[in-house]
Structure 1
Amino acid sequence: MNTMLLNTLVALAASTSLVTAAADACRSLPGDAAWPSVEDWNALNSSTGGRLIQGVPLAGICYGVQADSTACSELRSDWALVDPFLTQPVSVVSPYFENNTCTPYVTVATANDSSACQLGNMASYAINVSEYETATAGINFAREKNLRLVVKNTGHDYLGGSAGKGSLALWTHNMKNITLINNYKSEHYTGPAFKIGAGVQYEDLNPIAHDSGLRVVGGSCPTVGANGGWRQGGGHGPLSSTYGLGADNSLEFEVVTADGKHLTASPTENSDLYWALCGGGAGNYAVVISAVVKAHKDGQIAGSRLTINNEGNSYWTVVAEWMKHLLVLDKIPGFATEVLLTQQSFSLVVATLPGGDESTMSQALAPFYETVARLNITPVVNETKVQSTYLDHYDEYLGGVEFTRNITIGGRLIPRSLVQDSTLLQNLTQAFKDMVAEPDIVVYLLGYNVTNAAAAVPEGFNAVTPAWRDSLFLINVCIEGSADDPWPKMEDDLARANGWQDRLRGLTPGGGAYINEGTYDDPEWKADYFGGTYDRLRDVKAKYDPNFVLYTRPGVGCDEYAESADGHLCKA
């Protein structure tokens, strides 16, 4: 790290802030009397082998004397996409949690003003974690200096867990080790497994599994981290109806705890921590260095897609009939579906049936297709393909999609009982109709059977919210923003997402939601995201991180702290 630059910026921060936080009540921010000195930061840099990185906004290339108009223009063309942010140590995917404080949309006047580009809510520094020792050094430093600590892998989250003003980030993205364990043996599982570093993404892991004649449960998006919020929050994907959620496929974790201890968490070793890491929310109990996850024998897999345009009065009848047919598909072992619903069309993006062929896929979908035909609707797309491996299936239906970053997500897990009730089904269908009447909203219906029996895990074996086990499908309400949306627009989108979650909650009393695909400020977050697991999770938090070295919202215990208007994180 450039020591001269570090000295200059630390001095500047100290001279421009008059805030002093009580060390035992609030985490320190740049400019506070308790903020680490230049010598402290230099010592941390030395102890981590020069792996300390100063936080710089990605769009910093557009401002001040170092402005590069060509590079800025290129960044502006990609600003709406997820990809540029995945390899950044402090910049995160969601613009909401960056506070929109430094963008490439600059005027001539602001481009010459370096002060117009601020870190905002992004971490002040990051450590490029390479092994547990560098993570331990960062954890100990944050604890001793009373700093906010966050963990960032890809930053592929919409809850803000890898952001935080004045924080130190443990950047685990480059921990890409993948090791095949041909015959993992434990009390609960015997078979192939992979040990994967904290930075592994599914675009890294899926090809290696494929080349080994195996497949793993992973997300629908290839750039999602395999060990971050996806796994620790539950983790769903096309293979979930066959093998369970990501949490159900987690065999053990290598972690560093808030007191700097290097531990293994498994069903037989530190089992309470293992339980919490499997579905209890990410970045809140310990820092994951690696995990061992189940691998499954690869083989033939059938897939199908269908698109129906909204061209007549029967469109919403089709939507309701699809939800009813999910009750049939729910009983077919391994059958999983992803549907995209808009004002213009109903699209079965992918149906997944491991071990299936064209005949079994057609038989499974036939009753729904017969209903569509009776309604005199002709699909514009209707095809089934059989692949010899999961990777081929994935590439066919989900590969090559570019993901946008300014998306606000709300959602709800829909219990089977709701769809079985004709009045409730009618109310739910009307809710979808009202949602997509807003032109920037799309709705995803993700159908999985992840009951304890289907996932082959005992009830209560992990911290996955019980609402997952009772659900027929997951709803994602996605509000799609523009790359250059102003801050008030993003605030309004978040309020709208919460409003739709409220309506869905009213339709599903006693139900729940999926923490990774919900709002960070859901007023009913304890019940929605954790259900009956909350009190036990709070005990785990108290045991392994009693002083909240790790903090994330809406993580267990987060209501015991609050962010002030100036960004200080303080005891409530």
Structure 2
Amino acid sequence: MRHWLLSLGALLTSGGSTTAAFCRCQPSQPCWPSEANWVSLNSSVEGNLIAVKPFGYPCHDPNFNDAECTIVKENTYSSSYRSSQPGALQWENWESWPEEEEQCYVETDQSTPCKQGRISLFSVIAQTAEHIQAAVKFAAHHNIKLVIKNTGHDFLGRSSAPHSLQILTHGFKNISVADEFVPRTPAGTATSEKIKAVTLGAGVQLREMYAYLGSKGVMVVGGASNTVGVAGGYVQGGGHSYLGWMHGMASDNVLEFQVVLADGSLVFANAYQNTDLFFALRGGGGGSFGVVVSVTVKAYPDYPVVYTMTNYSTTAAEPFWNGVDAFQKHIVRLNDNGGSGWYGIIPDSSSATPGVSTFLAVQVFVNQTNTKSIGELMSPVISDLKNATGIAPLHGIVAFPSMSSMYLALFSGNDTTGLQTRLASRLVSRSFFESGNSTQLTKGLKGLSFGPEEAVVGVVTGGQVSRNRDIKSGLNPAWRDTMVHVIIVRFMSADMTFEEQEAVASNITEHDVPMLRSLEPGKMGAYGNEADADEVNFQESFWGENYPRLRGIKKRRDPGDLFIVRKGVGSESWDDSGLCRVS
């Protein structure tokens, strides 16, 4: 692992221990920890404290380093490389600090000054729970902004903050399978609960997990990606999955968390102890209640699966959108027959050949092996697409012997990240589609403008996600009524000014999201892991009726608001960077 280091002393000023009551301590203030304080922290974490520089640092004067810059440029779009670097995030826009006009983009000219932006000043490369505890206590004692980074795969800027101390949990790679897992219980409390389960360290990423689980013949509810961290924001935010149709959201399947709290204590949260935390950590959002060290989830067989892909491309706008509408009319029927997955709408799918529009859909049928019966199920879809577009769509069906073999075939180990990306999203109900309103969604999307390769993604849920409505957790209750999670993907670029980037973000908040909200006024919500980073009234949108309870748990467990992330529980009391209280 490579890290961009500065000598510790270069960023330090010595001084006292007081600061303004309503702001985190800043490096320019006398309250900032002395060099001796940082040396002491480094000792307490066994030499795993480093000073951090942004990912693009070696590519800019006066510190340009040709060899190091070459490595950075070769890995600019590598999610696995970025996940291991304390100074890198998966989405480059969250490395910058627009309010202060600070950035250090790899793509900009060598002569452009590299500034720290939202990248943490220091990182504890945690190897043990004790390292996390030491970092938490240090940040609390010195009133320093604290950031948790697992992989940096976050669309809302929760893995970075200016002038902060980072806890990097990337190194927690332990995975174990227990045939008879028994949750930890308080002294004097007995339980006969024994269940097959998988325990995952905070740094385990999806492809690593699938490779391991495949060797053990088991599977868990997980995402469709390479480098998303399972125990981080994925499961803490809810976690949709191909396996959701059979077993619900990832958060529905959690048996236990091991977590470091704001007071530095290391506790277990499950159905028997710390039940308030158990509620909050299952869907209440990553980074708001503590630092998760590990999570234990229910294990299932490594089911066989039938995988289908359907796509078409055209330069004719009207037939293209007719095809989108035709597909969306089949979503409920396919879902009722076990189909989950996603579909993508790319109105301008090629920057090299403008005007080409592409639609593709992936349907996954878990615990099924009969490709003929799935072909018959998909046949009306293919026929309707051909009639709507005048094009015979490409269509393929593949049977995989196991989910792990499917995941490992689909994912090579890297996702393409390093881009500048913002999202808009909305959960759309089953009743909306059952009532024949899919054309309304098609018309709304058709009325938006899309740049090259910008897309709409529809994540199909339903099944057990809906049937699990009796599970009491922090998850947005709107998920129980959701048929499709609709995401609009927008791109920015390093050659844009901050004002131009803000215009893209404002368009999402002022046009994209209102269009999606208008589909079902006053109903549903958005998924906090994949939403507008400037979501209006995010408390209700992300958590609905659960927010007051989550806010109460936050106040009891973290009264000093040590764990504040953008658009997380309690963040409404802080500025956008989590540095100063606003209320």
| Pairwise same-fold verdict (TM > 0.5) | yes
**Offset of 1:435 from its aligned partner?**
3.3
Judging changes above 3 Å, is the alpha-carbon distance between structure 1 residues 292 and 318 closer, same or farther for their aligned structure 2 residues? same
SS of structure 2 residue aligned to 1:155? coil
Query: What is the alpha-carbon distance in structure 2 between the residues aligned to residue 535 and residue 368 of structure 1?
Result: 43
SS of structure 2 residue aligned to 1:464? coil
Matched residue, 1:407: 421
Matched residue, 1:447: 460
**Given the alignment, which residue of 302, 308, 311 partners 1:298?**
302
1:89 matched to 2:93? The reply is: no
**Given the alignment, which residue of 370, 373, 378 partners 1:357?**
370
Contact 1:55/1:89 (CA < 8 Å) preserved in 2? Answer: yes
In structure 2, give the amino acid aligned to 1:394: Y
**Offset of 1:189 from its aligned partner?**
6.6
Query: What is the alpha-carbon distance in structure 2 between the residues aligned to residue 469 and residue 449 of structure 1?
Result: 8
Matched residue, 1:491: 502
Query: What is the alpha-carbon distance in structure 1 between the residues aligned to residue 210 and residue 110 of structure 2?
Result: 45
1:151 matched to 2:156? The reply is: no
Matched residue, 2:217: 213
Query: What is the alpha-carbon distance in structure 2 between the residues aligned to residue 195 and residue 168 of structure 1?
Result: 27
**Offset of 1:83 from its aligned partner?**
3.8
Q: CA RMSD in A?
A: 2.5
1:507 matched to 2:519? The reply is: yes
**Offset of 1:132 from its aligned partner?**
1.4
SS of structure 2 residue aligned to 1:127? strand
CA deviation map 1:476-498 (0-9, x unaligned): 10013345544333322222222
**Given the alignment, which residue of 120, 125, 136 partners 1:123?**
120
**Offset of 1:563 from its aligned partner?**
4.5
Q: How does 1:98-109 map to 2 (within 5 A)?
A: 98-99=95-96, 101-107=103-109, 109=111
Query: What is the alpha-carbon distance in structure 1 between the residues aligned to residue 326 and residue 393 of structure 2?
Result: 18
In structure 2, give the amino acid aligned to 1:540: I
Matched residue, 1:521: 534
SS of structure 2 residue aligned to 1:308? strand
Contact 2:465/2:479 (CA < 8 Å) preserved in 1? Answer: no
Query: What is the alpha-carbon distance in structure 1 between the residues aligned to residue 5 and residue 59 of structure 2?
Result: 23
**Which sits farther off after the overlay, 365-374 or 33-42?**
365-374
**Offset of 1:307 from its aligned partner?**
0.7
Judging changes above 3 Å, is the alpha-carbon distance between structure 1 residues 5 and 434 closer, same or farther for their aligned structure 2 residues? same
CA deviation map 1:477-524 (0-9, x unaligned): 001334554433332222222230121012122111100001222112
Matched residue, 1:530: 543
**Which sits farther off after the overlay, 250-259 or 431-440?**
431-440
1:395 matched to 2:395? The reply is: no
Query: What is the alpha-carbon distance in structure 2 between the residues aligned to residue 502 and residue 488 of structure 1?
Result: 22
Query: What is the alpha-carbon distance in structure 1 between the residues aligned to residue 411 and residue 59 of structure 2?
Result: 34
Contact 1:90/1:169 (CA < 8 Å) preserved in 2? Answer: no
**Given the alignment, which residue of 189, 192, 205 partners 2:196?**
192
Query: What is the alpha-carbon distance in structure 2 between the residues aligned to residue 396 and residue 229 of structure 1?
Result: 25
Judging changes above 3 Å, is the alpha-carbon distance between structure 1 residues 518 and 243 closer, same or farther for their aligned structure 2 residues? same
Matched residue, 1:327: 332
Judging changes above 3 Å, is the alpha-carbon distance between structure 1 residues 427 and 108 closer, same or farther for their aligned structure 2 residues? closer
**Offset of 1:407 from its aligned partner?**
1.6
Query: What is the alpha-carbon distance in structure 1 between the residues aligned to residue 26 and residue 335 of structure 2?
Result: 51
Query: What is the alpha-carbon distance in structure 2 between the residues aligned to residue 536 and residue 303 of structure 1?
Result: 40
Matched residue, 1:113: none
Judging changes above 3 Å, is the alpha-carbon distance between structure 1 residues 482 and 21 closer, same or farther for their aligned structure 2 residues? farther
SS of structure 2 residue aligned to 1:507? coil
Query: What is the alpha-carbon distance in structure 1 between the residues aligned to residue 346 and residue 164 of structure 2?
Result: 39
Query: What is the alpha-carbon distance in structure 2 between the residues aligned to residue 253 and residue 265 of structure 1?
Result: 5
Matched residue, 1:227: 231
Matched residue, 2:267: 263
Matched residue, 2:246: 242
Contact 1:96/1:490 (CA < 8 Å) preserved in 2? Answer: no
Judging changes above 3 Å, is the alpha-carbon distance between structure 1 residues 109 and 151 closer, same or farther for their aligned structure 2 residues? closer
**Offset of 1:451 from its aligned partner?**
4.7
Judging changes above 3 Å, is the alpha-carbon distance between structure 1 residues 450 and 468 closer, same or farther for their aligned structure 2 residues? farther
Q: How does 1:432-443 map to 2 (within 5 A)?
A: 432-435=445-448, 437-443=450-456
Query: What is the alpha-carbon distance in structure 1 between the residues aligned to residue 449 and residue 551 of structure 2?
Result: 38
1:181 matched to 2:181? The reply is: no
CA deviation map 1:48-76 (0-9, x unaligned): 11111112112221234542124324423
**Given the alignment, which residue of 5, 16, 19 partners 2:7?**
5
CA deviation map 1:382-417 (0-9, x unaligned): 110101011222234454664233221111111112
Q: How does 1:68-79 map to 2 (within 5 A)?
A: 68-79=65-76
Matched residue, 1:251: 255
**Offset of 1:317 from its aligned partner?**
2.6
Contact 1:428/1:507 (CA < 8 Å) preserved in 2? Answer: yes
Q: Gaps spanning 5+ residues in structure 1: where?
A: 111-115
SS of structure 1 residue aligned to 2:569? coil
Q: Paired residues, what number?
A: 555
SS of structure 1 residue aligned to 2:518? helix
Matched residue, 1:469: 480
In structure 2, give the amino acid aligned to 1:132: A
Matched residue, 2:350: none
Contact 2:4/2:54 (CA < 8 Å) preserved in 1? Answer: no
SS of structure 2 residue aligned to 1:196? strand
Matched residue, 2:43: 46
**Offset of 1:275 from its aligned partner?**
0.8
**Offset of 1:143 from its aligned partner?**
0.7
**Offset of 1:533 from its aligned partner?**
0.6
In structure 2, give the amino acid aligned to 1:518: A
CA deviation map 1:266-314 (0-9, x unaligned): 0121111011100010100111011111221113211111112235543
**Offset of 1:191 from its aligned partner?**
3.2
In structure 2, give the amino acid aligned to 1:49: E
Judging changes above 3 Å, is the alpha-carbon distance between structure 1 residues 495 and 84 closer, same or farther for their aligned structure 2 residues? farther
1:558 matched to 2:575? The reply is: no
Query: What is the alpha-carbon distance in structure 2 between the residues aligned to residue 4 and residue 415 of structure 1?
Result: 51
Query: What is the alpha-carbon distance in structure 1 between the residues aligned to residue 482 and residue 108 of structure 2?
Result: 46
Judging changes above 3 Å, is the alpha-carbon distance between structure 1 residues 270 and 371 closer, same or farther for their aligned structure 2 residues? same
Contact 2:526/2:541 (CA < 8 Å) preserved in 1? Answer: yes
Query: What is the alpha-carbon distance in structure 1 between the residues aligned to residue 484 and residue 171 of structure 2?
Result: 34
Matched residue, 1:345: 358
SS of structure 1 residue aligned to 2:425? strand
Query: What is the alpha-carbon distance in structure 1 between the residues aligned to residue 388 and residue 6 of structure 2?
Result: 72
SS of structure 2 residue aligned to 1:228? helix
SS of structure 1 residue aligned to 2:329? helix
**Offset of 1:118 from its aligned partner?**
1.7
1:418 matched to 2:415? The reply is: no
Contact 2:247/2:465 (CA < 8 Å) preserved in 1? Answer: no
Query: What is the alpha-carbon distance in structure 2 between the residues aligned to residue 451 and residue 180 of structure 1?
Result: 24
Contact 1:450/1:468 (CA < 8 Å) preserved in 2? Answer: no
Judging changes above 3 Å, is the alpha-carbon distance between structure 1 residues 190 and 325 closer, same or farther for their aligned structure 2 residues? farther
**Which sits farther off after the overlay, 430-439 or 181-190?**
181-190
In structure 2, give the amino acid aligned to 1:418: F
CA deviation map 1:7-38 (0-9, x unaligned): 23314xx89xxxx9844211011111211111
Query: What is the alpha-carbon distance in structure 1 between the residues aligned to residue 272 and residue 158 of structure 2?
Result: 29
Matched residue, 1:377: 390
Contact 1:80/1:406 (CA < 8 Å) preserved in 2? Answer: no
In structure 2, give the amino acid aligned to 1:56: K
Q: Gaps spanning 5+ residues in structure 2: where?
A: 97-101, 184-190, 348-356
Query: What is the alpha-carbon distance in structure 2 between the residues aligned to residue 154 and residue 489 of structure 1?
Result: 28
Contact 2:245/2:340 (CA < 8 Å) preserved in 1? Answer: yes
